[in-house]
Each structure stands twice: as structure tokens, then as C-alpha cells.
Amino acid sequence: MQASKAELVVDARHGTGESPVWHAGEQALYWVDIPGRTLNRWAAADGHRQWATPQMPACIAAVAGRPGQWLAGMEDGVHTVTLGSGSQAQLTALARVQHVRPGMRFNDGRCDRQGRFWAGTMLMDMGAAARVGVLYRLDGAALQPVLGDLITPNGLAFSPDGRTMYLSDSHPDAQAIWAFDYDPDTGTPINRRLFADMKPLPGRPDGAAIDVDGGYWICGNDAGLVHRFTPDGRLDRSLEVPVKKPAMCAFGGAALDTLFVTSIRPAGDLSDQPLAGGVFALQPGTQGLPEPAWQP
């Protein structure tokens, strides 16, 4: 365990705060609240604001060359989301998905180093432990299924050189992180192998980020921790947050040396974690990488 005091950035109280993305041009953090159906923005200069979305947003990426526009994996597919001066976001459907069964939505997702968008789907009834999740790559206006047999796909990240792809499954029956060799020219992952078995470690593997040295940072959901794994799969440090369910992390700040962490606010007695659902900032002692935008 490494000491690093978590600072509360936004007392958002979101049901499931997910997909934090640092926008360097605006010096602002964006993220979503999945069940709250909002896309959120925070900047030190002007605070927190949010836009309502007609579907549950799960993962986002900025759109290259289009200020105020984002790409989002939602319930029925991938949409472009335009943010304006009002409180409602405007959606335009880009690629619909044919889910394996009803009751599914997108979950974790992001762009590779070349600006290709990747996202996975899951059955919202996690108690069913159904292996119906699919990892998709967005090719133009079509979603290409690449990997199946997943329950709750999560932890998607790409190494600094773009030649290793990481993916986790955060369901209690899985709790694994895999690494793949990744062809940056074709966007093809091969040679899947176990990177880390999280079952004997504290927390389930949720959302992730990569630092400049190739360290893989992943939220330990249920344990109130953010773990760092070295590129060879060794756990070398864990940082605490004051909530049980950190959901996803992202590097940000002017020097990309702050680790922002979103979280989940579960139902029930929260007297021991009143800040659940908030957004926190840690000083991890390293720097991250700029988050690639989607290249339309």
C-alpha cells in the first residue's frame, strides 16, 4: 500500500460514474453517470456541469476536430453526442448494435493510439453471469465484433507504443485481466494471455489507465483501491480512495500527473462512505499519456 491522500474533486453522488477522459485543450475532465443518463464536465476554472442524455451513456471519446462533440457507447449502439449551452445533449446514431439478448448495453470503451474506438457490451443483470458480452471495434459506421464470451468487459487500455491491448472482465466469476499483442496498422489483437488474476487480490478489476512507463492502473472495485501493475504483470502499488467502489481512472491535469477516479454510489446505508459516487484526484507519482480522440 502506498500513501496518497485522495482529494474530492466533485461530490457528484453518481450512481455509476464512469469513463473519465481528460480533455487537454480545455483542461477539463469529462465523464458519465450511466444510470443517471448524464455526460459531465469539470474544470478548475468553472466547476461542474452536466448534460442529460436520452439513453444511458457508458463510455466516451472526444471527436477529433469537432469541439463540443463526443462519441459514446450507449444502450442501442454508438452515437455522436453534441454538447451545447443547454442542459440536453443532442444524439446522432452512428452505429447500431444487434445485442445477443435483451437487457444489454455498452460498458467500458476507449480509442486506441490511432484513434479507433473500441467498446464492450454486457447484460445489465449481472446476477445472471451470462457470457454474452462482446468487444467491438468501430469500423466507419459499423461495429465489428472482435471478441466474445465476456460477462462484464472492462479495463480496456493500450500500451504507450500501441502494441499491447489490455482487457479485463470485472464480474465476480471472472476477475481477470488479459493482454494481447496489438497490430496498430490493422487494429487486430492476437495472442491473448492472462496478464493478472485478480481473484486473490483485493477488488474486482474495473476501469483502467496507462502511465508513461507502461504501468497499468486499474480500479479495485469493492476494495477502495487503485492498483498499478508493471508491464510484466507484477502488482507494485495500490492507492486508497475513500469509497468502496472506484470505477475507472484517468490521468489529467496540466502535466498529466493527477489520477482522476470516478466511483459508484450503491444503494443502502452509506454512513461509512458518504462520498460514494464522487470524483477524486490522486497524486500517483507518475504521468499519464494524452487520451486519443476518435478519428472519424
Question: CA 252, CA 281: separation in Å to the nearest integer?
Answer: 9
pLDDT in tens, 132-162: 999 999 999 999 999 999 999 999 999 999 9
Residue 126, SS3? helix
pLDDT in tens, 71-119: 999 999 999 999 999 999 999 999 999 999 999 999 999 999 999 999 9
Extents of the domains making up the chain = 7-282
pLDDT in tens, 169-222: 999 999 999 999 999 999 999 999 999 999 999 999 999 999 999 999 999 999
279 vs 5, residue with greater confidence:
279
Q: What is the mean pLDDT of the chain?
A: 97
Kindly tell me if the per-residue pLDDT of 6 is higher than 90: yes
Class of the 7-282 domain?
Answer: mainly beta
Catalytic residue among 181, 206, 213, 222: 206
Question: CA 294, CA 296: separation in Å to the nearest integer?
Answer: 6
pLDDT value for 2: 58
Cell numbers placing 223:
476494495
pLDDT in tens, 43-83: 999 999 999 999 999 999 999 999 999 999 999 999 999 99
For the chain, the distance separating the N- and C-terminal CA atoms, rounded to the nearest angstrom, is: 42
User: Assign residue 136 a region: left if phi > 0, alpha if psi is -120 to 50, beta otherwise?
Assistant: beta
Chain position carrying cell 466511483: 263
Chain position carrying cell 450507449: 74
pLDDT in tens, 232-270: 999 999 999 999 999 999 999 999 999 999 999 999 999
pLDDT value for 3: 56
pLDDT value for 1: 54
Kindly tell me if the per-residue pLDDT of 21 is higher than 80: yes
206 is catalytic: yes
pLDDT value for 22: 98
How many C-alpha atoms does 17 have within 13 Å on its Cβ side? 33
Q: What is the pTM of this model?
A: 0.97
Residue type, 112: D
